[in-house]
A and B are shown apart, each in its own frame.
Chain A
Amino acid sequence: DTAVSQTPKYLVTQMGNDKSIKCEQNLGHDTMYWYKQDSKKFLKIMFSYNNKELIINETVPNRFSPKSPDKAHLNLHINSLELGDSAVYFCASSQDPGRVNTEAFFGQGTRLTVV
Chain B
Amino acid sequence: GENVEQHPSTLSVQEGDSAVIKCTYSDSASNYFPWYKQELGKRPQLIIDIRSNVGEKKDQRIAVTLNKTAKHFSLHITETQPEDSAVYFCAAASGGGADGLTFGKGTHLIIQP
Contacts and interface: CB of A to CB of B under 8 A. Distances in A.
Interface of A: 30-31, 33, 35, 40-45, 48, 50, 53, 55, 90, 94, 96, 98-101, 103-104, 106-109
Contacts of A109: 43
B52 to A, nearest CB: 10
B105 A40 contact: yes
Interface in B21-46: 31-32, 34, 38, 42-46
Contact of A99 (B38, B44, B45, B95): B95
Interface stretch (B59-67, B69-77, B96-104): B96-104
Given A42-B103, A48-B97, A50-B97, A101 B32 contact: yes
Contacts, number: 69
Main secondary structure of the interface of B (DSSP, over half): mixed
B87 interface: yes
28 contacts: A31-B96, A31-B98, A40-B105, A41-B38, A42-B106, A45-B99, A45-B102, A48-B97, A48-B98, A48-B99, A48-B100, A53-B98, A55-B98, A55-B99, A55-B100, A90-B44, A94-B97, A96-B96, A96-B97, A100-B32, A101-B32, A101-B34, A101-B94, A101-B95, A104-B100, A106-B45, A107-B43, A109-B43
Q: 8 nearest interchain CB pairs?
A: A99-B96, A31-B97, A101-B32, A96-B97, A45-B100, A106-B43, A96-B96, A43-B103
Given A40-B105, A101-B31, A108 B42 contact: yes
Given A101-B31, A101-B95, A109-B43, 11 more contacts: A31-B96, A31-B97, A33-B100, A40-B105, A41-B87, A42-B106, A48-B100, A94-B97, A98-B96, A101-B96, A108-B43
Contacts of A42: 103, 105-106
